[in-house]
C-alpha cells in the first residue's frame, strides 16, 4: 500500500518562501529556526518576494559569498539553499518593478503577483513549501497568507519568526553558537481550501487574479443554480467543461434539466431489460435540435430513432456529464451529478434533489416534452 507523504522534511525539494521589506534578517532568522527544530527542515531553495528597494537591501547584506546567508550556512554546517537571482521575485505592475507598495494599484498588483507565485510553487506535488509571513508590509503578509490558504497542501506550512528585540543589535542576523538568544518559530495553522473545500479546478489550472480566486472559492458557498448561456453550461456560475463533454452529452444533461424543470420526473429502465424507449429518443432528439440544430443529428438518429433510446446509449454520456462537472467544480459537483439509482429491478437516472425547478435557468420557454 502506498502512503502519501505529508511531513514537509520528507520531500526532496523543500522550498522556503519569505517576504522581505527592509529587514533581510527575517530570512536568516527563519532559516536558522527551521534548521534547529525537531525534525529539522532545511530548505533546498529559497524564494523571496520583495520590492525593488527591498531587493537592494538583500543585495547589500544578505547575499553573496560574504553575506549573512552564506555565513549562517557555514557556521551551522548545512547546505546552502539555492537562491539564484530569479528566486528574488520583485513585485511588478505592467512590467515595471514596484519600488514600494503605496497605492491601491500597487496593492492589486501585489495581490495578483503573490497569488500567481504561490500557485506556481505548489503545482509540483513532489515539493513541500514553508511560507514565512514575518517580513514585508502588512498587505503582503495578508495576501501571502490567503494565497497559501487557497493553494496549500497537507505538506505545506506557514510560520512567523519571533526574536526578543531588546537582546539583539541592529546588525543581528542569527544567533552565533552558544549565544543566549532564543528565536521562536511560531507555526500558524491555516485552512487548506484546496484540500478541504475542493474549489473549482479552473482556479488551479488557470492564470487568475487574486480577486478572481476569491470569487471562485466564494461561489462554492453559493446557492445551487444551473444556467445555460450560448450553449454553455454553468453550475454555481462556473463553466462546466471537459474534452469529453460534447454536443450529445450537453443535450443529455439539458434534457434531464428540462424534465426536472417541467415536472416530468426522472427516466427509468428495467435493469434486466435494456430495451429502447421511443418517447425518450424523441425527447432527446428534440432537445439536441433545440441546442444544435441539424448539425450532427444524423448520427444520433441512426443510433436511437429506430430502436428507441437505450440505457446503453445513455450511460457513457452520463459519465461524460459527471466527469465534466467533477473536473470543473471538484467537490461542489456533488450537487449536480446525474445519479443512477436501482430499486426493485428498475434503474433510475436523474438529477439530485438539490437541483430544483426554481434554480434551473434555461433560455427556453416551457418545452412540451410530454407531448412528443
One domain, residues 34 and 173: yes
One domain, residues 41 and 126: yes
Residues 23-44: tens digit of each pLDDT: 888 999 999 999 999 999 999 9
Q: Is the pLDDT of residue 2 over 50?
A: no
Q: 1 in a domain, yes or no?
A: no
The CA-to-CA distance between both ends of the chain, in Å, stands at: 54
One domain, residues 52 and 191: yes
**pLDDT, mean over the chain:** 88
Q: End of a domain among 181, 214, 247?
A: 214
Strand order in the sheet with 183-187: 88-90, 45-50, 13-19, 127-132, 157-163, 183-187
CB atoms within 10 A of CB 307: 14
Residues 51-100: tens digit of each pLDDT: 998 899 898 888 888 899 999 999 999 999 999 999 999 999 888 999 88
One domain, residues 169 and 295: no
One domain, residues 208 and 61: yes
Q: Give the pTM.
A: 0.72
One domain, residues 169 and 274: no
CATH at residue 209: 3.40.50.10770
Of 324, 123, 150, give the one whose Cα is nearest residue 238.
324
* CB 156 within 8 Å of CB 41: no
Q: 198 in a domain, yes or no?
A: yes
Q: Is the pLDDT of residue 185 over 50?
A: yes
CB atoms within 10 A of CB 221: 9
One domain, residues 326 and 183: no
**CA contacts within 13 A on the Cβ side of 25:** 13
Q: End of a domain among 154, 188, 214?
A: 214
Q: 305 in a domain, yes or no?
A: yes
Residues 86-138: tens digit of each pLDDT: 999 999 988 899 988 888 999 999 999 999 899 899 989 899 999 999 988 88
Q: End of a domain among 214, 242, 274?
A: 214
One domain, residues 206 and 263: no
Range of the domain at 363: 224-371
* CB 190 within 8 Å of CB 149: yes
One domain, residues 191 and 302: no
One domain, residues 175 and 61: yes
* CA-based torsion, 100, 103, 109, 114: positive or negative: positive
CB atoms within 10 A of CB 267: 21
Q: Is the pLDDT of residue 199 over 60?
A: no
Identify how many contiguous H helices and E strands the chain contains and give both numbers.
Answer: 12, 15
One domain, residues 73 and 139: yes
- Count the domains in the chain: 2
Cα angle 155, 158, 163; round to 5: 140
Q: 2 in a domain, yes or no?
A: no
pLDDT class of 329 with cuts at 50, 70, 90: confident
pLDDT class of 368 with cuts at 50, 70, 90: low
**Nearest-angstrom CA–CA distance, 278 and 28:** 74
**Nearest-angstrom CA–CA distance, 291 and 93:** 43
pLDDT class of 17 with cuts at 50, 70, 90: very high
Amino acid at each position: 500500500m502506498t502512503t502519501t507523504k505529508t511531513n514537509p522534511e520528507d520531500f526532496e525539494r523543500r522550498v522556503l518562501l519569505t517576504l522581505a521589506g527592509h529587514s533581510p534578517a527575517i530570512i536568516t532568522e527563519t532559516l536558522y529556526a527551521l534548521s534547529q527544530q525537531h525534525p529539522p527542515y532545511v530548505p533546498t531553495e529559497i524564494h523571496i518576494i520583495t520590492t525593488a528597494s527591498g531587493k537592494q537591501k538583500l543585495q547589500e547584506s544578505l547575499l553573496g559569498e560574504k553575506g549573512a546567508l552564506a555565513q549562517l550556512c557555514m557556521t551551522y554546517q548545512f547546505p546552502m539553499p539555492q537562491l539564484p537571482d530569479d528566486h528574488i521575485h520583485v513585485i511588478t505592475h505592467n512590467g515595471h518593478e514596484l519600488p514600494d507598495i503605496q497605492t491601491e494599484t500597487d496593492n492589486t498588483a501585489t495581490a495578483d503577483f503573490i497569488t500567481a507565485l504561490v500557485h506556481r510553487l505548489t503545482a509540483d506535488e513532489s515539493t513541500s513549501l514553508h511560507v514565512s509571513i514575518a517580513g514585508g508590509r502588512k498587505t503582503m503578509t495578508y495576501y501571502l497568507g490567503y494565497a497559501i490558504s487557497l493553494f496549500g497542501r497537507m505538506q505545506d506550512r506557514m510560520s512567523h519568526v519571533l526574536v526578543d528585540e531588546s537582546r539583539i543589535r541592529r546588525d543581528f542576523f542569527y544567533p552565533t553558537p552558544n549565544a543566549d538568544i532564543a528565536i521562536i518559530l511560531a507555526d500558524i495553522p491555516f485552512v487548506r481550501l484546496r484540500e478541504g473545500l475542493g474549489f473549482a479546478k479552473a482556479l488551479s489550472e488557470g492564470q487568475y487574479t487574486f480577486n478572481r480566486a476569491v470569487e471562485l472559492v466564494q461561489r462554492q458557498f453559493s446557492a445551487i443554480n444551473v444556467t445555460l448561456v450560448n450553449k454553455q453550461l454553468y453550475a454555481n456560475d462556473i463553466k462546466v467543461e471537459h474534452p469529453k463533454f460534447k454536443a450529445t452529452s450537453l443535450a443529455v444533461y439539458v434534457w434531464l434539466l428540462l424534465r426536472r424543470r417541467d415536472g416530468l420526473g426522472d427516466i427509468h429502465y428495467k435493469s434486466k431489460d435494456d430495451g429502447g424507449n421511443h418517447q425518450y429518443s424523441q425527447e432527446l432528439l428534440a432537445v439536441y435540435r433545440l441546442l444544435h440544430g441539424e448539425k450532427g443529428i444524423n448520427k444520433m438518429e441512426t443510433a436511437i430513432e429506430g430502436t428507441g433510446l437505450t440505457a446503453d446509449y445513455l450511460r457513457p454520456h452520463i459519465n461524460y456529464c459527471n466527469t465534466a462537472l467533477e473536473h470543473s467544480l471538484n467537490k461542489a459537483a456533488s450537487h449536480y451529478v446525474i445519479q443512477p439509482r436501482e430499486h426493485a429491478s428498475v434503474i433510475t437516472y436523474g438529477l439530485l434533489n438539490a437541483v430544483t425547478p426554481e434554480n434551473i435557468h434555461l433560455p427556453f420557454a416551457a418545452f412540451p416534452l410530454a407531448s412528443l
